[in-house]
Structure 1
Amino acid sequence: MGPMSRAGFPALLAAAFLPLCVVSCGAPTAQDAADPVERLVAAEVARYPFNPDSFTQGLEVGPDGNVVVGTGQYGLSRIYRSTPDGEELASAVLDPRFFGEGLTRVGDSIWQLTWKEGVAIKRDAASLEETGRASYSGQGWGLCSRGDEVIFSDGTAELRRMDPVTFSERGRLTVTLEGQPVDHLNELECVGDEIYANVFLSTDILRIDASTGAVTAVIDASGLPNNAAPDPNNVLNGIAHIPGTDEFYLAGKRWPDLYRVRFVAAPAAH
């Protein structure tokens, strides 16, 4: 998602409202009562230096263990690959008329979204060079790939199911927490039958059942220090599973740190 000044609602109001949205209102459904939502926290395992100029919109770990980052802002958007400790290995810039958003790898290709331009850019995963484009309606926010589909967020409570080759839309899934839709779903990460989603303007991450759209866990990442320069846009954004582990990398917009974390049970309230 782009800067809050472009998002169409006041930053302070949104920041105050969204955490309440995440814990939701209304009576739980029978299914929710049978399967209570887990409350987890992001526990820091390690911390690495990260490019503080990166307005992070997409984050993914490649098969080589390196990190692929997509950034936003008109005239500054790009995609790059780096080692987890910040050594940049390859980079490609976007046309200045594009505001870069989420990305995901599909086989030997990477799809990268743009915010309001309705263009998905297909890239060679090794060189990062553009190999094609596809169009879509509405805004582009986040992407992740699972099996034979790509999951796409547009800032609403709906996730789109996209064809991984043509990028055509196959269907939609509404995300609900305790029976209520949850919007402002942003950067995504697919892990097996689960989808993880940053919630824009909050420090919450949702774990979502990819079949039903039901939120199965709310992960509080507020314990991770935000060491970015003071700016309401510099929020948590970027989640990438580390293959072969139960750990993730978490990043933020212009954050100087990349966090390696594990999601664990929240401490019991006293």
Structure 2
Amino acid sequence: MKIGSIEIWPPLVLAPMSGVTNRTMRALYRPFGLGLTVTEFVSSNALKYGSRRTMEMIDQHGLEKPVSTQLWGDDPSTMALAARVVRECGADIVDINFGCPAPKVTKTNGGSACLRDPARCEEIMCAVVAAVDVPVTMKMRLGWSEDALVYVDVARRAQRAGVQAVTLHARTAKQFYRGSADWEHIARLKDAIDIPVIGNGDLDDAHLAMRRMRESGVDAIMLGRATLGNPWLISQIADLMAGREARPLPSPAQRLRFAIV
């Protein structure tokens, strides 16, 4: 898969996870077979006001490449400013978050709350694309609720705005992580747009992940919670993507040695 001119191989992406995908974790997990890692999501407002902690989170110099930095916010001009800042700090790709369902984010109309206003999403995407000289991607959910599934509309707006790839987590914002991710929606999105689609949701087994990828036709898959404490899942999927047999999971002793390191 290519995002703009950036080759992603294997087409296996580590999801941005707040408080989790920091520099250390990404450095530990990358050798297991990831094609792309994404930072913890960061607030565009925090970057606007020069938050020291946030600036430390986005410094990507000397780290794994390629790396994507994810931003959230609801103001196009602030998001554009933040995109320029993360680009200066080494981001190869700028990712826009329209997927986080956490109340601390949605109460300020950020994350998945943006999906309640697709036109606003388009304004944000246009502003960010115009602000940087690297590919811009976007991650979203199906919509705010089951009766407001806007993912196809927002993805088409993304393509029109110049976004280079879209990741879909196949739940609504109101679901949080309840129920099951509905991959039929991901397959539908793949048929609806011409830019790469990355599928996300409930990929906790290597063979299941490959089946989801094959059946939906997505260009890549994104792994999140299933890798916590189990980075070997990444290696198993990478093996299958390369046409090899998936390596066996490590013994408890091997897991312990990794945890100690």
Normalising by structure 1, report the TM-score.
Answer: 0.29
Greater share of strand residues, 1 or 2? 1
Greater share of helix residues, 1 or 2? 2
